[in-house]
Structure 1
Amino acid sequence: MIAFGVIAGVMVVLAVAALVPFLLRQRRIRAGAASDTRAVYRERLAELEAEHERGNLAAAGFAEARDELEREVLADADRIAALAVAIGVPVAAVSLYALTGQPGLIGATSAQQLSEQAVQRYRQMAPGERIGPLQDYVENNPDAPRAWQLLGQAYRAQEQFGDAFSAFQRARDAGDTSDGALIARQAEALLLANGRDFTASVKRLIDEALEAEPRNPLGLLLAGHAALSEGRNDDAIRHWSTLKESMPDGDRRRQQVERLLARARGNTDATAARERTGSDTGGGRVTVEVSLDPNLREQTGGDTPVFVFARSAQGGGPPLAVARTTVGALPARIALTDDQAMMDGRTISQAARVVITARASSSGSVEPQPGDLEGQSDPVEVARGSSTDVVIDRRIE
């Protein structure tokens, strides 16, 4: 952009320098006359009239001299107008481009501006097949925001959430930092990399996304979940109602949003009931700090999925809450709540105490397999604010 400005400025100066001598080459109306064209005209006209009245200038000569004077005045005005145009047009063009154009694209090569055909070609590939070629592309074209976005989406589809977050950040750095949809994708990637924990960084990105695009669907969806996780049921209802209004009647996603709204309204009713009765049943939450024993890190890859789940400390049974992250995102802080229940009617808030298990699954299966890495907590009380640590420190044989 700076180089473009310097080159454009030099070209304008050269153009004006070439035009000005030509425009000013005509003789002045009168040597030493004032610069005001009208004053010069009046002075010369007065001289002609005086000569005519003294009889030194015949009527025909007076008329001819007056016409010549008028032509000179008009020519001088034309030269001034031409000079103004020569200077004003380039300045106006540069100013208009700065206001309405895309100066940020100046200096970008055609390779960095990924063509629509290339975008469609990448999208026709499976996400796993797309990653390698896109990695090669951005290595050679690091300032290609569209390519970084496609790479981030491929990482997201492959559940490489940490890599997706980084790719979306590179897309923002290389392109428009106020793209609401892109910021929302970045917020989602960070949320998933953190085991669905709405950290301060995640919430800040959600706020940025909605500030840039107030009705962005993903931003509204995430904002509703963030509000619900903090017990702000009315805010969750507001965000999801806005999301529902933006969807056409035939959109299948409306049913999902309606279920979310029903849950938020149910939580609101339950909260009101607890306030009336003074009880505090329901709404359990356990925060888990999950880490991997350094001695086992070489036995697994960064994209290996990690399942974190809670079971009742009495009787075991199916998990009451499940979250997912990756080895590459560890250590991670993960919140297990009723929103992560696997079965309706079986939530973490129904248990007095739970045991937390974290398992790095080399096969990608939730069920334990030989070779998986696992760690487990001691029984922990279920209540808002409860926390525990789980270190993945043993191998399943």
Structure 2
Amino acid sequence: MKPVFYLAAAAMIAVALALLLVPLIRQGRRQGRPRGVFVLALLVAFALPLGAVGLYLLIGTPVALNGVQKQPEAMSIEQAVAELQAHLQAEPKDAQGWLLLAQTYASLRKSAEARDAYEQVLNLQPDNTAAMVGWAESDSIVREDHRIEGRSLELLERAVQLEPDNQRGLWLLGISQFQHDRYAEAATTWRKLQPMLEPGSAVAKAVAEQIAVADTRTGHPPAPQGTPVAADGPALQVQVTLAPALKDQVKVGETLFVYARAEQGPPMPLAVARLDAAALPATVTLTDAMGMAPQLKLSSAARVFVGARISRSGQAIAQTGDLEGDAGVVEVASKAPIKIEIDKVRR
């Protein structure tokens, strides 16, 4: 019965959307608007309810566009995008057209193109909160380290100031604060988001979990409404030593990073510990609570590369002259101690 029910529900949604949108499309065509703009709008209208939850869970946003091929005319998403691009060349001041193009690029995972299109919206409408948040989100995906800082952070702060109930803006702002070790601020930001979410939903649980992690990082116990991180999650015990030949090269105040990143995927660590290099030799346990971003966790990978680095600058990004060592790739489920000797100088 479930497939029949879903098909019937989908058909009713399609009919309702057609009754609402097709007359608008016809009217727009009579006014000279290109067909692609309205076909793309119809595609987005069908895709939005289906894609929103998926993209929110993936990168922490409540809006997504997954192209759906159900349309009144036999036009592909690529053709519709091409017509919209042609329209924008003729009408470059159509802010809504640029916004639609940006959101469509984002749904197609063309983040650099999406960021450029959001830029066009901001040039026309500097206070467009959807474009602010979209630009910041796209920029974080394009960056190798996925950090939200600089202009992205400024846009998010401005967006939530103008629109305090902007769910995507609050979520991404909290991620940025978390990435910059501002855990108390991240927890406060996410607590503003909590009342806007459906109680008991997967998104609400994920936000509560991240609040608990942030509270733990600040030295406070998780808030009563938080969902604590599972105690049975992965835990990699890493034992780090320094090669005798390099002991004289370590200076007071330098920082030791112990990290695990996915064997295949973005270079951003799934778990990282930061210590004073003077603590060597040291033993660290890497867990899900030590990720740099809430959506990237140790438990999300089966195998990880485990390494250790003494940073001269104190920055998380490796630089020439840092001292390094690694244990290669290990299973996340491994219970045996992982031994690393820092024995190389980064060139």
TM-score, scaled relative to structure 1: 0.43
In terms of fraction of residues, the more helix-rich structure is: 1
TM-score, scaled relative to structure 2: 0.49
Structure whose alpha-carbon radius of gyration is higher: 1
